[in-house]
Chain A
Amino acid sequence: MVEITDLYKKFGKNDVLNGINLSIKEGGIFAVLGPNGSGKTTIIKTILGMVIPDKGSIKVFDTNIKNNSDYRHKIDYLPQIANFPSNLKVNELIKMIKDLRGKTDADQNLIETFKLEPFLNKKLGTLSGGTKQKVNIVLTFMFNSPIIILDEPTTGLDPISLIRLKELIQKEKAKGKTILITSHIMSFVEEVADNIVFILEGKIYFKGSIEELKAKTKQQDFEHAIANILIENHA
């Protein structure tokens, strides 16, 4: 599904990725974890082709993504910070993305789920952070792509929307999709993720299920297990 081989990336003098090898199989929810600045977003952006790696290759559905853009039809991406052109209205943005990516009817459902009807005619610049994130979620989930990448999906959401988001993620998982999530909210990760990948200083430190991680670190709960890794490697 997604094959990352020997991936290196430097930003200036800053080594962000130091030889990442990662293979993500079809179906299920993968959480990419790591402290701030460990390279989570960079990995995601290299998969999307937004960051060009210095070395290494990435294959999505067995096609090398280098100088390719068609493969992104198979990926839905929720960016970390919802940056939208501020002078567009919500429904104009939805229409524009549909025009660029293809037809879909799922947006109506999603707009209802997240109660966005009152905002459809408002400009994106005037929306609050949480509402922007909801628009972001609608844009991401309205296409039925086999891979979904969510970068900090919970940012700014109120409890009801958070529950709806979790339901949505489970629904997509039930369809057999592959979902890649990064988050700092450990309870959220523990609740939804099947497998986790822990990144430390641009390398994969751990890959496996949450149970395996608890066993490896000899900790009872997930949050402490993660904290344990961090303390052992930084203290």
Chain B
Amino acid sequence: MLKILKYSFFDLMRSSWSYVYFAFYLLLGIVLLFLNNDLSKAVITLMNVIIVLVPLIGTIFGVMYYYNSKEFTELLLAQPLKRSSIFLGQYLGVAISLSMSLILGLGLPFIAYGLFKSNAIWDFSLLLIVGIFLTFIFSALAFNIALSNENKIKGFGYAILLWLFLAIIYDGLFLMSLILFEDYPLDKVSLIGTMLNPIDLSRTLILLKLDISALLGYTGAVFKQFFGTSFGLIVSFLALTLWVGLPVLRIIYKSKKKDF
């Protein structure tokens, strides 16, 4: 698997897309720091961008890479290699190279600005960790979609729909159900609802770490009580790990049954 990972990774590192992605984050980091003139404020703005954009890029990149490397995959399938190692290697290649672009692109301007001497370093690290989780989650989901759809256009369509659902529609439905059932105690329900969507979960995690939960009212207090403790933090990271693990398991399962 490591050999496949190596080849996929270097293949991606040579493609211009990784550099575009890297340059985008570099620019974003510099502009945000320049406009905000303050590390912690830049972190908050950055969060809003990362939470939506990282899943989108992970999804599109994952689907694109899978379809684009079809020839490479077929070449590998005739070699004495396990199917699971072929697909996991490719998946990790995508996820790791995207994470690298994210870490380097955002890390460099923040370090240059004096991140290590400021208090924002923990918030910033949390932001990066969440970003990496989201990259791994959404590229795994994208691989799942691509593995199940031979048709490229369909695959792309489903992938975009998935992103749209988790990034935007889910929130709308969630909010509507909260309004509909406002007469009932909803703190537990909303907690679970947040856990079920990796994007919401990431957003909540960061918001609460940034100590702006007061804006969220009573629910915010409940959330703070949960996510603020180390127990809540562990549960959240477990949920994120599960969001990576389950799609990866399905990649292994699906790849074993597929015809090429």
Q: Residues of A with Cβ closer than 8 Å to B?
A: 11, 45, 48-52, 67, 69-73, 75, 77, 79, 83-88, 96-97, 99-101
Contact B11 A69 (CB under 8 A): no
Contact B259 A96 (CB under 8 A): no
Contact B78 A69 (CB under 8 A): no
A49 to B255, CA, bound (A): 12
Interchain nearest-CB distance for B20 vs A (Å) = 16
Q: Which residues of A contact B3 (CB under 8 A)?
A: 99-100
Contact B7 A96 (CB under 8 A): yes
Contact B71 A84 (CB under 8 A): yes
Q: Which residues of B contact A100 (CB under 8 A)?
A: 3, 76, 79, 81
Contact B80 A72 (CB under 8 A): yes
Residue from the list A67, A75, A83 in contact with B75, Cβ < 8 A: A83
A84 to B7, CA, bound (A): 14
Q: Which residues of B contact A101 (CB under 8 A)?
A: 79-80
State whether the Cβ of B260 lies closer than 8 Å to any Cβ in chain A: yes
Interchain nearest-CB distance for A118 vs B (Å) = 23
Interchain nearest-CB distance for A7 vs B (Å) = 14
Contact A85 B81 (CB under 8 A): no
Residue from the list A67, A72, A85 in contact with B79, Cβ < 8 A: A72
Q: In B65-85, which residues have CB < 8 Å from any A CB?
A: 69-72, 74-83
Residue from the list A50, A71, A77, A83 in contact with B71, Cβ < 8 A: A83
Q: Which residues of B contact A73 (CB under 8 A)?
A: 80
Contact B80 A71 (CB under 8 A): yes
Interchain nearest-CB distance for A126 vs B (Å) = 15
Interchain nearest-CB distance for B55 vs A (Å) = 27
Q: Which residues of A contact B259 (CB under 8 A)?
A: 11, 45, 50-52
Most buried by A among B14, B72, B81, B257: B72
Contact B82 A69 (CB under 8 A): yes
Q: Which residues of B contact A77 (CB under 8 A)?
A: 78
Contact A85 B78 (CB under 8 A): no
Total A-B pairs, Cβ < 8 A = 61
A88 to B72, CA, bound (A): 10
Interchain nearest-CB distance for B106 vs A (Å) = 27
Interchain nearest-CB distance for B259 vs A (Å) = 4
Contact A83 B257 (CB under 8 A): no
Residue from the list B7, B80, B257 in contact with A52, Cβ < 8 A: B257
State whether the Cβ of B15 lies closer than 8 Å to any Cβ in chain A: yes
Interchain nearest-CB distance for A86 vs B (Å) = 7
Q: Which residues of A contact B70 (CB under 8 A)?
A: 83
Contact B80 A45 (CB under 8 A): no
A69 to B84, CA, bound (A): 11
Contact A69 B80 (CB under 8 A): yes
Interchain nearest-CB distance for A121 vs B (Å) = 15
CB closest residue in chain B, given A101: B79
Contact A51 B260 (CB under 8 A): yes
State whether the Cβ of B256 lies closer than 8 Å to any Cβ in chain A: yes
CB closest residue in chain B, given A139: B75
CB closest residue in chain B, given A93: B75
- Whether A48 touches B78, Cβ cut-off 8 Å, given contacts A67-B256, A87-B11, is yes
